[in-house]
Amino acid sequence: MPALIDTLARTVLLPVMASGALLFIAWRLSRKQPVTTRGPWAAPLALVAGLVLGQGALGAMAWPPMEAIHWLPLLALLATALVLLERGISSPSWAKHGLRLVLFMALPFSLLSPLIEHSWGPVEGFLWVVALGLAGFGLALVFEQVARRSQGFALPLQLVLLATGSSIALVLSGSLLLGQLAGILAASIGVFMVLAFFFPSLSLAGGTMTVFSIQLAGLWMVGYFYAELTATIALILFLAPLAVWLSRATSPVRFVPRFG
Amino acid sequence: MNSDTRNLIYIVALSLVVGLAFVLPASARAGEVYQVDSAHSSILFKSSHMGLGNTYGRFNDFSGKFAIDQKNPQNSSVEFTVKAASIDTGDAQRDKHLKSPDFLNAKQFPVITFKSQQAKKLDEKSAEVKGTLTLHGISKTVTVKIQKIGEGKDPWGKQRLGIETTFTVKRSEFGMNFMPMAVGEQVKLIISVEGILQKDEGRHARAD
C-alpha cells in the first residue's frame, strides 16, 4: 500500500470508523432518548475509541509506557473513566473540579518525568507540573463552558480546525508522529462535526471536552518539550480556545466556567 | 654444552623476554587504558531510504575509553557514550526529525551508551566484545568484533592505538519503529576510534 494511503488509513479512516461505530451503537441503543442526553456518555467513549485505535495503529503505544507519547492514550482513557464515573455517581461540583485538577496535574507529571529526573530537579519540575497542570485544567474548563452553550456543528468544526492546526504545527516542529497523533484527534472529533449535520442538537458538554483537552494539551507539551515546537506557536495554540470562549461571552460575570 | 651453560642461556633468554616486555609497544603490556580521541575518531551509520538508496550520517559528540589487558584478555573492556542530539546527516531538517520523538527522542533519551561485559581475544589483531548497548532507553546485549588498526607514538610522544568495529542493529528492537516504509529497519554502524594511552591509569585493567 502506498505510504500516503497507509498513513491516511491509520490516522483518518480508522479513528473515524471507530468513533463513528461507537456513536452508531449508542444511537441504536438509546434511540428514544434525545441526543443531548445520549451524548454525555457515548461521546467521550467514541472520542477515546478513535484516539486509542488510531495511536495503536501507528505503533505509538507501549506498556509500560517508555516514552512521553505512550502516556497520551492512557491519560485519555483515564479521563474517559473519570467522566463516566461522574455520570454514574452524583458528586458535588468541588469534587468534580478536584478530580479533574488531579487528572491535569498527572498529565505534565507523567509526560515530563524524564526531564524532571534528569534535567530540572524537583523544584523546577514541581513548578512546571503545577503551571502546566493549571493551564490544562483551565483549557478544559473553557472548552466545557463553550460546549455547554453550543449545539450543532460549529464547536466540532472549531475543534477540528484547532486539532488540524496543531497537527501542522507539530509536523513543522520536526515530528511527523506528533502531527499524525493530532491528525487522529482531528479525525475523531470530526465525526461529531459530520453527525451534527444530522443531529443539530448534538452537544459535546459533559466530559467529551475533558478527553479532547487532555489529548490536545498533551500533544502540545510533547511537541514543546521533546520536539521543536516553539514557545510562540505553543502559546498561540493555547490561546486559540480562549478566543473561541471570548467570542461567545455575553457577560464576563455570567461566563464563569465550571464543569457540569 | 654442560648443564650450567644451558641454565645460563635459559636465564639470559628469560631476562631478554622479560626485558622486551617493557620495551614492547604499549598494547603488549597488561591493563592499559586508552581515552578516546574524538578528533581522530568517527561514529558513522548507514540506513536505507525507501529501499532506493542509502543515507549516511554520523554522531559528532561522543566520549569513551577502552582498556586492553594482553595477559588476561577477558579483563579488557570498552565504554562509550554518544550524545544522541549530535546526529548529523548533512541535512538540518532531517536531523531535526531524527532527534524528535519519531526516532531517537534525543531530549528524553539524551545519550546512547555501550558498556562491555566480556571480551575474548580472537587473534593478534581482533577481539570479540560482548556488551550492553543502550539506545532510545532500551538496553540490549550485542556482540561486536573489534579490529585493531594500528598503534604507535604520535609526534608528541603519546602512545596511540586505533580500533574499529562494524555491526548492525535493528531499530525496531530499540523501540524505533516509525516510518518502516521510508527508513530501513537495519542500521549499520561503523565505529572507528583512536585512543591515547593514559599514563596514570596504565596499571588499571578495566576502563571503568
Residue B28: per-residue pLDDT: 37
Whole-number Å distance between alpha carbons of B176 and B162: 31
Average confidence score pLDDT of chain A: 86
Confidence check: pLDDT of B9 > 70: no
What is the average pLDDT across B154-171? 93
Cα dihedral angle (A90, A95, A99, A101), rounded to 10 degrees?
A: 140
For the residues of A55-121, what is the DSSP string, one character each? HHHTT---SS--SHHHHHHHHHHHHHHHHHHHHHS---HHHHHHHHHHHHHHHHHHHHHHHIIIII-
Q: Residue A212 has which C-alpha cell?
A: 479532547
For residue A18, the model assigns a pLDDT of 85
Residue A58 distance to chain B (closest CA, Å): 8
Q: Is the pLDDT of residue A104 over 70?
A: yes
Give the span between the Cα atoms of B115 and B136, in whole angstroms: 15
- Say yes or no to pLDDT of A12 above 50: yes
* Partner B contacted by A57 (CB < 8 A): no
Structure confidence at residue A148 (pLDDT)? 87
- Mean pLDDT for B60-64 is 95
Q: Look at residue A63 and tell me whether its pLDDT is greater than 80.
A: yes
| Alpha-carbon gap: A69 to the closest alpha carbon of chain B (Å) | 8
Give Cα B136 to chain centroid, integer Å: 19
- Determine whether the interchain pair B108/A68 forms a contact, defined as Cβ–Cβ distance below 8 Å: yes
The residue of chain A nearest to residue B96, with distances taken between CA atoms, is A174
- The model's confidence at residue B2, banded by pLDDT at 50, 70 and 90, is low
Q: Which of A82, A38, A29 is nearest to A192 (CA)?
A: A38
Is A206 inside a domain boundary? Answer: yes
User: Which residues of chain B make contact with A175, given a CB cutoff of 8 A?
Assistant: 97, 100-102
Does residue A260 lie within any of the structural domains?
no
A62-66, A91-95, A108-112, B98-102: lowest mean pLDDT where?
Answer: A91-95
Residues in chain B within 8 Å Cβ distance of A57: none
Distance between CA A179 and CA A169 in Å, rounded? 7
Q: Give residue A93's pLDDT band: very low, low, confident or very high (50, 70, 90).
A: confident
A119 CB-near residues (< 8 Å, 6+ apart) = none
pLDDT of residue B4: 60
Q: What is the pLDDT of residue B86?
A: 96
Least confident segment among A38-42, A113-117, A171-175: A38-42
Least confident of A64-73, A147-156, B188-197: A147-156
Mean pLDDT of B89-110: 94
Residue A162 lies in a domain: yes
Is A23 domain-assigned?
Answer: yes
pLDDT at A13 (0 to 100): 84
Residue A172 has pLDDT above 80, yes or no: yes
Q: Please classify residue A179 by burial: count the beta carbons closer than 10 Å to its beta carbon, then call 0-12 exposed, 13-18 middle and 19+ buried.
A: buried
Angle at B145 between CA B141 and CA B146, to 5 degrees: 115
> What is the Cα–Cα distance from B208 to B202, expressed in whole angstroms?
13
Domain that holds residue A16: 3-247
Question: Residue A191 burial by CB count (10 A; 0-12/13-18/19+): exposed, middle or buried?
Answer: buried
| Within a domain: A125 | yes
Q: Residue B179 and residue A114: Cβ atoms within 8 Å?
A: no
pLDDT at residue A33 in the model: 63
Question: In this complex, do B96 and A174 lie within 8 Å of one another by their Cβ atoms?
Answer: yes
Q: What is the CATH number of domain B25-201?
A: 2.40.128.110
Cα separation, A205 vs A186, whole angstroms: 18
Total domains in the fold of chain A: 1
Residue A258 lies in a domain: no
Q: Which residue, A248, A151, A162, A161, is CA-closest to A195?
A: A151
Residue B175: list chain A partners with CB under 8 A.
62, 66-67
In a domain, A257, yes or no: no
Mean pLDDT over residues B102-120, rounded? 93
Beta-sheet pairing, B138-153 with B126-135 = antiparallel
Residue B7: per-residue pLDDT? 58
Whether A251 shows a pLDDT value over 70: the answer reads: no
Q: Find the mean pLDDT for residues A134-160.
A: 90
Answer whether residue A48 is part of any domain: yes
- pLDDT for B24 equals 38
Query: Poorest-confidence range of A184-193, A195-204, A243-252?
Result: A243-252
Residues 189-248 of A with CB under 8 A from B: 222, 225-228
